[in-house]
Amino acid sequence: QVQVAESGGGLVQAGGSLRLSCVVSGRIFGSYAMAWFRQAPGKEREFVATINWYGDRTLYADSVKGRFTISRDNAGNTAPLEMNGLKLEDTAVYYCAATKAGLNIATLASGYEYWGQGTQVTVSS
Give me the pLDDT at residue 56, please: 93
Beta-strand pair 58-60/81-83: unpaired
Rounded percentage of the chain residues whose pLDDT exceeds 70: 99
pLDDT of 30 strictly over 80: no
**How far apart (Å, rounded) are the C-alpha atoms in residues 26 and 66?**
33
Please, which residues bridge with residue 67 across strands?
Answer: none
**What are the pLDDT digits (tens) for 59-116?**
999 999 999 999 999 888 899 999 999 999 999 999 999 998 888 789 999 999 999 9
DSSP string, 19-50: EEEEEEEES--S--EEEEEEE-TTS--EEEEE
Residue type at position 84:
N
Give me the pLDDT at residue 60, please: 98
Give me the pLDDT at residue 101, please: 84
